[in-house]
Structure 1
């Protein structure tokens, strides 16, 4: 029983305790919620009460700021704002113009005119902004009429500045300038090429032409011969003509006045003129005129002159002379005498000078037959007809040629005037027999040892190579290339003061060099007897013209 009672009490006590615990938990939760809501309400109320007075206190301040900004906006003058913008526009364009002016000043090219325009425009901007009538500083109000006038002038200047910048922009654009420069160079090169071609043709025509004065002189001399034949009968040749102990000169030309100048200049500068003998050979057409001249005007000082025509030497036939044989061929006839305009090659300025028939003239090639022309002589001084002698030349006969045939002044310097300049070294015959770097020399004043010439058989050498060059494949026309071949390794170099060249094409020869020269040579197209002669050298030739000769005065040589 006792156990049962305990057990019942124990069970009833346990159920009552669980109910009480649940009630306590429920009431605790409600108290917690109430407290939380109370705290939240208090916090919200506190926040409202705290922010409301602050907001109400700041309203007047915000209202004052708004009213202040509104007052400034009302007080500001719109004309001054407009004035500021105009000033800024003027200042900006003045700065831009100054920048272009500085760049133009730096370039120093062909834009000096633009530089002045930019400088003037910048000064105009500066003057405009400082003009007394447009001084707006210190003024409370801006006169609208004055502002309008100021704005108008600024806009005009701005318009001019923009226009100038647009027009000048390409001058400062490097790419455009480079392209324009390339185009200009190309156009100028084309014009230069045409000018050179036309100049070459004109120069060649001038060089080949016979001036009226020369034609007049020849006609007057022939007329004199016809009018007075008794005065010009043939005379016995002087023994001096074949005397090897005298100083002999060979001169081949059809130009009467040129031959007279050469002979006169030699004699006037010779110490012993009576020991000098001149062998003049001309063509049949000019033989009479040449003889009449030297009969009317005998050489001073007792010097001797022999005058002959090419036709007076019977060995000069086409069967012996390659040049004469080649001139008889149809190829050469067409090459020289056919109208070049028919085949369109007349404009070839490079080759037109070589189409001059004088290059195949027998007078030009007589220099290769000196031993046959003068079989009794040992030494001969060959002179071209476009030279002037300024000193006694007898010293040339005293030079030891060391067994060589030809004594001449060399013309090479650096890579210029070497054998490669005159001969075609792409041809195996030339390439295998000659040195392309060998130094060239000049015809015009050459002392020839005729005994050495005969020993070396130089004329045969000349014939051999002239025959090989019938089609002009070995060298261009003229006498210097075959001369370089004929006397290859047989030429002794002379001092340059003996022979100064270039007075017929080079205006830069120093007068000291000319004065020190024994012989000056007018090689080139500008011969001293032509109108195209260079004035700075012409007087050196004209002073040896016999101005007292009546026909010279009549034919107006311009002395």
Structure 2
């Protein structure tokens, strides 16, 4: 038994010996593999294969360059960079200058790699530039660029995402306007001279010198040039620490700049290691690009905030009038004028507005050019917040023999309206539409048009004015330059809405929102601003119910409320628009700087559609004079609130 036990124990020892030998052989093979790899990696690096192992940034697909000599020149031909170069102006010009200065010292493979990566930063950056279009394919923003309107907004604005029929779009200069709207036009008109152009130039020189200094300091027998670069760097650092604008710079700064340029020119004459230069160049490029994008978006947001917020002076006017209304005993003349409000033989004008001053200018300009003001009745529909200010203003101010009625839309009692749902005031809807025509030539720029249409409140007109047969609807951002009495004798041939057609925008160009087969794609869009409404015909066709049904149906399928409003309003009047002569209404004074003065003088009504309203400081200066001359400058509240001072 013992012998058998010893044999069994010996067998177990042999098995352990074999396992240890196999483990030892595995370790030897692993060590040999590591040694071979440690020899191959340096060899591959020395042969220049390291460029192939460099990881591509997220979202980047490498492009094969047709010519390595293109270098940084490709950045100048990149469509997206062209767009921002035009819109950002001086903010990015020094980047291109720096690229030009550094270009000659960089080898071709570094230039090619940096060009690819720079393109990728614009195309695949992610959250920073998510809304920027890819090269050659301008894509609309994902949603509205404007913030939700506040209670004091003068207009409700929206950006309609129209599909762009792109071909090879080379001229993308209007992408700024496509993305930020009239802000880009306003900024171009109000561009100021840079007060820190020399400071920026000095900073660029400092960046270049810092990029070259480490490489020059390592060169043998170049101690003099190294000291010269270091002294110039320290001197510029001291100057820039004390200067933020050109006015802060010392008188001898031109000489210091020449010395720095001479030192950099000497440094560029030596063959140096490009790694540090490449690193510094990437830093300034990324920093400047991010800074320019940030400032562009910030200034565009502040512009939108300014145009959507009621100015302090107008808010002051409304508050002072409201306080005065409750503090002063006033003789209400509503009862004595009730008969005129309901008389269908008179000329009735309707204005939806929450702006005391704007509605006053509309009425004043209309009355001043009327051949006979006695038969004119103006109905101003406003909200509860501005109702008492409006009441007092139109009781204090007279407009020849015209009659003015102020209605609080929130207190109206309409039979068809659901009692549990409160009424609210909605002003004409404004849209900015950017698109390319299908038949446009390849070089055609993106077109941006501004249109305005009826809002929800407009579809209550037949119920609010049940005794009237016809009304003329005026937006509160118009002024009248001629007598409008001829509108009341129009034969509208069974149509409901007499409007000026806007044939720069065809309904077919809005097919993404209007569908495919429910309308005539060649028909023109129509504009609010000046509209002759046949209320009898409206009631006969029950267009209010048609509009409500469209809104309900479209709201179930479309996510954008702006798209629903545009769709429903345009299609509610399909085949029911009576085209007015184009001289009745001239639009664009709130966004277009290039309107002909002769066209302005011939138009019966001027429409300030767009963001740059005439009562705002952002309004287009050369058009504001037409609006200001109808202000009642003698009113004490205007002077107290510094309105248009």
State which of 576, 599, 608 in structure 2 corresponds to 1:522: 608
Matched, 1:467 2:552: yes
Q: Would the aligned equivalents of 1:424 and 1:430 in 2 still touch at CA under 8 Å? A: yes
Structure 2 distance, partners of 1:473, 1:535, is 39
Alpha-carbon separation, structure 1, partners of 2:413 and 2:619: 37
Change in Cα spacing, 1:273 to 1:412, as seen in structure 2 (3 Å) is same
1:424 is matched with 512
**Does 2:342 correspond to 1:242?**
yes
Cα distance change of structure 1 residues 268 and 480 upon mapping to structure 2, 3 Å threshold: farther
Q: CA deviation at 1:423?
A: 5.8
1: CA distance, partners of 2:294 / 2:557: 27
Distance 2:336 2:370 in 1: 26
Per-residue CA deviations over 1:260-299 (Å, capped at 9, x if unaligned) read 0000000001111111111111111211111100111122
Supply the distance in 2 between the matched residues of 1:263 and 1:385 (Cα, whole angstroms). Answer: 9
Equivalent residues in 2 for 1:256-271, closer than 5 Å: 256-271=356-371
Moved more, 186-195 or 306-315: 186-195
1:476 Cα deviation after fit: 4.8
Matches within 5 A, 1:296-335: 296-300=396-400, 302-315=401-414, 319=418
Q: 2:635 aligns with which of 534, 549, 556?
A: 549
Q: Which has the higher helix share?
A: 1
* Equivalent residue for 1:396, pick from 477, 487, 493: 487
Count the aligned residue pairs: 354
Per the normalisation by structure 2, the TM-score is: 0.49
For residues 498 and 309 of structure 1, do their structure 2 counterparts lie closer, same or farther at Cα, with a shift above 3 Å needed?
Answer: same
Q: Judging changes above 3 Å, is the alpha-carbon distance between structure 1 residues 451 and 231 closer, same or farther for their aligned structure 2 residues?
A: closer
The correspondence for 2:329, drawn from 207, 229, 247, is: 229
Cα distance between partner residues in 1 of 2:636 and 2:376 = 26
Output the TM-score relative to the length of structure 1. 0.56
Q: What is the alpha-carbon distance in structure 2 between the residues aligned to residue 187 and residue 490 of structure 1?
A: 56
Structure 1 unaligned blocks of 5 or more = 1-108, 115-159, 170-179, 328-358
Report what 1:444 is aligned to: 529
For 1:316 and 1:480, locate their aligned partners in 2 and report how far apart those are by CA, in whole Å.
26
Structure 1 residues 223 and 536: CA distance shift in structure 2, 3 A: same
Structure 1 residue aligned with 2:478: 387
Q: CA deviation at 1:430?
A: 2.6
Q: 2:518 is matched with which residue? A: 433
Residue pairs, 1:526-537, within 5 angstroms: 526-537=612-623
Quick check: which has more Rg, 1 or 2?
A: 1
Alpha-carbon separation, structure 2, partners of 1:459 and 1:320: 17
Partner of 1:291: 391
Quick one: distance in 2 between partners of 1:430 and 1:533?
36
Contact 2:590 2:612 in 1 (8 A): yes
- Measured in 1, the distance between the counterparts of 2:423 and 2:518 equals 26
SS where residue 257 of structure 1 aligns? helix
Q: CA 1:550/1:199 → structure 2, altered by over 3 Å: closer, same or farther?
A: same
Q: Verify the 8 A CA contact 1:277 1:303 in the aligned structure 2.
A: yes
Q: Distance in 2 between matches of 1:168 and 1:290?
A: 75
1:494 aligns with 2:593: no
Q: Does 1:457 align with 2:457?
A: no
Cα contact 1:505–1:524 (8 A) shared by 2: yes
Which residue pairs with 2:460 in the alignment? 369
Give yes or no for contact 1:462–1:486 (8 Å, CA) kept in 2: yes
RMSD value over aligned CA atoms? 3.8
CA distance in 1 between counterparts of 2:580 and 2:535 reads 18
> Of 540, 543, 547, which aligns to 2:626?
540
**Matched-pair contact (CA < 8 Å) for 1:322–1:467:** no
Residue 303 of structure 2 is matched in structure 1 by: 203
Structure 2 Cα separation of the partners of residues 323 and 419 of structure 1: 33
What's 1:505 paired with? 591
Contact 1:247 1:276 in 2 (8 A): yes
- Is residue 2:499 matched to residue 1:408? yes
- In the TM superposition, what is the alpha-carbon distance from 1:504 to its structure 2 partner? 0.9
The equivalent residue for 1:477 is 562
Which string of whole-angstrom CA distances, capped at 9 and with x for unpartnered residues, describes residues 42-64 of structure 1? xxxxxxxxxxxxxxxxxxxxxxx
